[in-house]
Amino acid sequence: MRRAPRCVFCEIAAGRAPAALVFEDASTLALMDIAPAARGHVLVITREHFETLYELSAEAAQGVALTARRVALALRSSPTGCLSSNRTVPPPTRPYPTIMCT
């Protein structure tokens, strides 16, 4: 599995960094954002490191979409929305595509 040095999301996926996980499966993680834009702000990430959304394999993209759907369904009693982020994680972390649900 691809990992990147000093990538906080890779560290979380490997279990070496703390995270408030709300869901996980073999290919994705859903976790609470440490700097939430809104109450219930959840990030959906892949376990494997990708620099951009464009690099995601079809299988990885499908896993992210299914996990984002699960999170959105769990949050459906509140006004929710999901958006994608591509290469916007600020330094010192590396770019990492995410889906954000709030």
**Between the CA of residue 69 and those of 7, 12, 65, 83, what are the distances in Å?**
25, 21, 6, 12
List the chain residues with pLDDT less than 50: 92, 94
E strand segments, the chain: 21-24, 28-32, 42-46, 82-85, 98-101
- Written in H, E and C, the secondary structure of 42-60 is EEEEECCCCCCHHHCCHHH
Number of domains in the chain: 1
pLDDT in tens, 37-65: 777 788 899 999 988 888 889 999 999 99
pLDDT value, residue 83: 67
Task: Measure CA 69 to chain center.
Answer: 13
Position 92 scores a pLDDT of 46
pLDDT at 36: 81
Is 78 among the domain residues? yes
- CATH, residue 48: 3.30.428.10
Residue 51 covered by a domain: yes
The pTM is what?
0.79
On whether residue 1 sits in a domain, the answer given is no
Q: What's residue 37's pLDDT? A: 78
Q: Is residue 84 part of a domain?
A: yes
